[in-house]
Amino acid sequence: VISGSGEAVTPEMYLNNGHVSEFNFARQLAPNFKDENKLCYLDSFGPSWGFIDSSKAVTFMDNHDTQRGEAVLTYKDGDVYYLANVFMLATQYGYPKVMSSYAFDSHDQGPPSYPVTCGNDWICEHRRPEVANMVAWRKTAGDSAMKNFVK
């Protein structure tokens, strides 16, 4: 369920069925990375920002629905995008999902016509060292609270 104002169907309607994509996570996190002067506001990032319950939320910076449209950050933003993914994996909120995609120049462009081999047109965001290492870190840290956030 893609949440948005005026939608007839809301994510809250599906919480009893399992995990729900929390589209507002990226919508609210990304602008804080696009403007580095706003990073200091992330010390309270999480449920207090109006998100669905953490135990039901699937978080992401971009996904197959948003990467070519509404996403504020995608692989095309380079290091800022990967830093936001690192933060997503570092925070205890939700169940993080990392995008793995291919390069595109237009909204309706399909995947490369050759098998997946990371590099060239296959982006493979999940294999970036900083992202892959943070997945391992997340497994160890689990849902530990954020502490000693330096503004």
pLDDT tier at 117 (50, 70, 90 boundaries)? very high
Q: What is the pTM of this model?
A: 0.90
> What is the full DSSP assignment across 11-69?
GGGGGGGS-EE-HHHHHHHHHHHHSGGGGGGGGG-SGGGTPPPGGGEEE-S--TTTTTT
C-alpha torsion 54→88→116→19, nearest 10: 10
Whole-number mean pLDDT of the chain? 91
Residue 101 has which token pair? Answer: 């995609």
pLDDT tens digits, one per residue of 36-73: 899 999 988 988 999 999 999 999 999 988 999 889 99
Residues forming a β-bridge with 102: 122
pLDDT tens digits, one per residue of 64-78: 889 998 899 999 999
**CA 77/CA 6 separation, integer angstroms:** 30
Q: Is 3's pLDDT higher than 80? A: no
- Tell how far CA 147 is from the center of its chain: 21
Give the DSSP letter of residue 75.
G
Question: How many CA atoms lie within 13 Å of 137's alpha carbon, on the beta-carbon side?
Answer: 14
Q: Is 105's pLDDT higher than 80? A: yes
Q: Is 142's pLDDT higher than 80? A: no
89 or 2: which leads in pLDDT: 89
Predicted local confidence at residue 1, as pLDDT: 67
